[in-house]
Amino acid sequence: MSADRRPSRRQVLRWLGVGAGVVVVGGTAARAGDQGLFAPRTGPAYAAWHEHPSGVRGVVAAAVLAASAHNMQNWRFRLDGGAIEVSDDLTRSLGVVDAHRREAHLGIGCAVANAEVAAPALGLAPDLVVLPGAGVLARLALAPHDRLPVDGLDAAIVDRHSDRGPYPAEVPSTPLLDDVRSVALSGSERVDIVWVTGTAALARLGRLLTDAAQALVDDERMSIDNAALVRYDHGQVERRMDGLTMDAQGMSAFMTVAAQLAPAVPRHQADASWVSATRSVHTATARAYALVVGDRDDVATRVHAGRAVQRLHLALVARGWAMQHMNQAVEMAERDVLTGTADRFDGPLSDLAGGRVVTVVRAGRPSGRAVPSPRRPVSQVLG
């Protein structure tokens, strides 16, 4: 190259800048493609939300759309004549976060609730028996029937998602809370639902839940197991079809895209973000909390509690409201017993509820950030 045609230093820098820009844009676009951002929630991991088989298989298809802790989907279904038997899949676990499988059993109750609600529209009359102890936890007999009233909750099954976004300032009225509470408890035994409302009580429970989130991340073992089902990688979502995805965390659109484009953040950073969201979003905008009360150590009670809380969620969604489970205070209450730590959470929860708390949720109007989470298909869970 002759001296006069040699590029100036400024030109070289400009070309490098353009080149770097192309690489960055190209790299970002490739990463966005890998993370499924161009067609969000459309792959096989989300197919369960759109497929509606008929008959008994349709009942199981509704069951798998239920909530489960960390979206672990610890359910197994078996057809036995005209009934569905539901058992707890012990291979799916939250480790020390759910050492006694309280949340696993709640998840079974959630699945049973969806199954029961869906059955009449599929021409099947459901008859639920919750069984004590291990093995099969619930049996749902389904008798063909041609004229059944369809529960108003049925349509909410596909619209129900855990809503972790901020809830606008509207406070739910007492008649609304009474109404959804009675829908939730209809057919549920052994449990009650206590609403926590009013500025002082909301603030008190909000502080307790934030303290519990901080205590959880300060406990290294809890923090590790709590993070195990967080899915940063879209490929993993497609393969595993479970877990907590970035786009279901209720963040703003900008933060959701950024979180999906960025590599997985270190665990301690994710923990700090969760505690911060608990303080400044989840508890700060909770308009009511429901405390489900019962004998926390009894398996059948946990299944009934899961059934009630799933029905509560469906009832709220059917009326245009949103819900998020918030279990950290109960998790830490159980953890404190295991580690021999003086009680920090059980006493205050019981004071608020007037009984032993099995699980906690918050409610409010949605701000439009809830989206579906992945699901394993019926073929994987029906044995």
Q: Cα separation of 287 and 290, whole Å?
A: 10
For residue 80, give the H/E element and its range. Answer: strand 75-80
Contact 67, 107 (CB under 8 A): yes
Residue 256 as a binder of ligand FMN (CB under 6 A): the answer is no
Interface pattern 213-242 for ligand FMN (x via CB under 6 A): ------------------------------
Residue 63 as a binder of ligand FMN (CB under 6 A): the answer is no
Specify the 3-state DSSP secondary structure of 98. helix
Q: Cα separation of 343 and 329, whole Å?
A: 11
Residue 71 as a binder of ligand FMN (CB under 6 A): the answer is yes
Which listed residue (231, 325, 356, 365) binds ligand FMN by CB under 6 A?
325
Q: Cα separation of 330 and 359, whole Å?
A: 7
Contact 44, 239 (CB under 8 A): no
DSSP secondary structure string for all residues of 205-265: HHHHHHHHHHHHHHSHHHHHHHHTTEE--HHHHHHH--SEEGGGS---HHHHHHHHHSPPP
Q: Smaller CB distance to ligand FMN: residue 69 or 205? A: 69
- Piece in contact with ligand FMN (CB under 6 A), picked from 34-42, 48-56, 69-77, 166-174: 69-77
Residues 147-186 that bind ligand FMN (CB under 6 A): 161-162, 164
Q: Which of 209, 217, 214, 278 is nearest to 250 (CA)?
A: 278
* Residue at shortest CB range from ligand FMN: 67
Token readout for 107 is 């998840």
Residue 328 as a binder of ligand FMN (CB under 6 A): the answer is yes
- Piece in contact with ligand FMN (CB under 6 A), picked from 52-60, 121-129, 256-264, 325-333: 325-333
305 CB-near residues (< 8 Å, 6+ apart) = 106, 109, 188, 190, 191, 292, 294, 358, 359
Specify the 3-state DSSP secondary structure of 41. coil
CB of 328 to ligand FMN, least distance (A): 6
CB of 282 to ligand FMN, least distance (A): 8
Residues 2-41 that bind ligand FMN (CB under 6 A): none
Residue 326 as a binder of ligand FMN (CB under 6 A): the answer is yes
Residues 101-130 that bind ligand FMN (CB under 6 A): 103, 106-107, 110
Interface pattern 280-319 for ligand FMN (x via CB under 6 A): ----------------------------------------
Q: Smaller CB distance to ligand FMN: residue 185 or 312? A: 312
Residue 246 as a binder of ligand FMN (CB under 6 A): the answer is no
CB of 92 to ligand FMN, least distance (A): 13
Q: Which of 108, 53, 41 is nearest to 373 (CA)?
A: 41
> Would strands 244-245 and 230-231 be described as parallel, antiparallel, or unpaired?
parallel
Residue 74 as a binder of ligand FMN (CB under 6 A): the answer is no
β-bridge partners, 352: none
CB of 275 to ligand FMN, least distance (A): 13
The binding site for ligand FMN (CB under 6 A) comprises 67-71, 103, 106-107, 110, 161-162, 164, 244, 248, 324-328, 359, 373
